Amino acid sequence: MLSQIGGLFNTLTPNDLFNIFVILLVALLLFRLNKLLIPWIAEKLAGKRRLQVLAFMPIIRLIIIISTFLILFPKIIVPTPENLLAFLGAMGIALGFALKEYISSLIAGIVTLYEMPYRPGDWIEINGVYGEVKSIGLRSLEIITPDDTVVRIPQLKMLDSPLFNSTAGSRELLCVIDFFLHPEHDPNLVKRLLYDVAFTSAFIQIKKPVIIIIFEKPWGTNYKVKAYPLDARNQFQFITDITVRGKQALIQNKIQYAHIPMSSSEKA
């Protein structure tokens, strides 16, 4: 049996080992270069072009992996059909037991590359985590949250959890800013004020529509201002700007905010 296993592999000379080492090193360097260079180039570009360049990152990574595998495989394994079958069979058993989750995530990553439910630069929410997709690996993806926290999510989660993508490859992201007001006020005045607040924001993407939706609640009135910032990355500045100036406008016009009743346990 040992001789059969021995027959599977090439006899590796020191020169072969050195070549394998060099190939792996080059692959690693290319990986690193891809991770550094593509985001650096993307940051130099504006808007849509930035997102288009970032989308290449996972594709380049996959190309590097496949190329490295194709170069190394005939160097290590004697490339006969029997050996190939034996190798793949052994791999399958080992991976099936030991690395089931890892391989599942890997395959999910490949599926993701094909389906592209999200791209680098997208703002997504999954399992309660909201942030910008920084990089897409084969096994996991990296999200930066608004608190500058890096979160790694296995690709497998993408297949069995609902995914909310706010941008889907574009730079536009709809922001919703809530105002909760005391029920006794003139709604037309409030609508006009909030429209002006939105249209006079320095961060607004003015070519996109501004919509104000009003919901009547038992405790008061909920106004939702729906508008788009210049870029998805400006969303928090935009929301802050609308909130601050909206508050100023409402106070100047003596419009009160809602007082939401709390239970005694909440008060405590």
> Where on the chain is the footprint of another protein (CB under 8 A)?
44-47, 171, 193, 196-197, 199-203, 205-207, 230-231, 234, 237, 240-241, 244-245, 248-249, 252
Q: How far is the CB of 229 from another protein (least distance, A)?
A: 10
* Alpha helices for the chain (secondary structure H): 2-8, 14-44, 47-54, 56-76, 81-98, 100-115, 155-160, 187-199, 235-252, 264-267
96 or 209: whose CB is closer to another protein? 209
Q: 258 is written with which tokens?
A: 């809602």
106 or 197: whose CB is closer to another protein? 197
137 or 229: whose CB is closer to another protein? 229
Location of structure tokens 């106004």: 223
112 or 205: whose CB is closer to another protein? 205
Q: How far is the CB of 252 from another protein (least distance, A)?
A: 8
125 or 172: whose CB is closer to another protein? 172
Q: CB–CB of 189/252 below 8 Å?
A: no
52 or 237: whose CB is closer to another protein? 237
Q: How far is the CB of 196 from another protein (least distance, A)?
A: 5
User: How many whole angstroms separate alpha carbon 126 and alpha carbon 151?
Assistant: 11
Q: CB–CB of 238/245 below 8 Å?
A: no
Query: Long-range contacts for 226-229 (Cβ within 8 Å, ≥24 apart)?
Result: 226/174, 226/175, 226/176, 227/174, 227/175, 227/177, 227/198, 227/201, 228/172, 228/173, 228/174, 228/175, 228/204, 229/173, 229/175, 229/203, 229/204, 229/205
155 or 205: whose CB is closer to another protein? 205
Q: How far is the CB of 35 from another protein (least distance, A)?
A: 18
User: How many whole angstroms separate alpha carbon 83 and alpha carbon 93?
Assistant: 15
Q: How far is the CB of 205 from another protein (least distance, A)?
A: 7
Q: How far is the CB of 79 from another protein (least distance, A)?
A: 43
Give the residues across from 118 on adjacent strands: none
Q: How far is the CB of 124 from another protein (least distance, A)?
A: 21
User: How many whole angstroms separate alpha carbon 15 and alpha carbon 35?
Assistant: 30
